[in-house]
Amino acid sequence: MKCIFCQIVSGEMSGDILLRNEHICAFRDIHPAAPKHVLIVPNKHIASTEELSNNDRDVAAELLLAVKEVSKLEGISETGYRIISNCGSHGRQEVKHLHIHVLGGAPMRNGLG
């Protein structure tokens, strides 16, 4: 069975998609932790940063470049935002598909959690 993010990328499940290209897909989080909360995922299923390989350099670069584009689309590039990527159980990764959270739209709380 495909993970939920693979289903959104493939169109099997709906998502509020903001940006898509050959390597990544960006969509709004269904349970936002900030006024602006977007997830950016690779189109290819990669479980976490630990599974990235040298063959995934284009994907890794596109993930970070998409952060910049999403911040502009969401109107938070000027005021700032936080990016987070959780990895593994201790990192509290809930969906086993590499993803970057882009959070903004209000001042962030202090701390990392």
| Rounded-to-integer distance, Cα 98 and Cα 47, Å | 5
| Rounded-to-integer distance, Cα 81 and Cα 43, Å | 23
Kindly write down the DSSP assignment for every residue of 33-56, as one continuous string.
SSSEEEEEEESS---SGGG--GGG
Residue 16 has pLDDT above 70, yes or no: yes
Phi, psi (rounded to 5 degrees) for 19: -155, 140
Q: What is the pLDDT of residues 20-29, one digit of tens each?
A: 999 999 999 9
Tell me which residues are annotated as active site. 99
If you search the block for the tokens 């890794």, which residue do you land on?
Answer: 60
pLDDT band at 1 (very low <50, low <70, confident <90, very high): confident
Q: What is the pLDDT of residues 71-96, one digit of tens each?
A: 999 999 999 999 999 999 999 999 99
Question: For residue 62, what is the enclosing H or E element?
Answer: helix 57-73
If you search the block for the tokens 């932790």, which residue do you land on?
Answer: 33
Domain boundaries, the chain: 4-104
Question: Could you tell me the fold of the domain covering 4-104?
Answer: HIT family, subunit A (3.30.428)
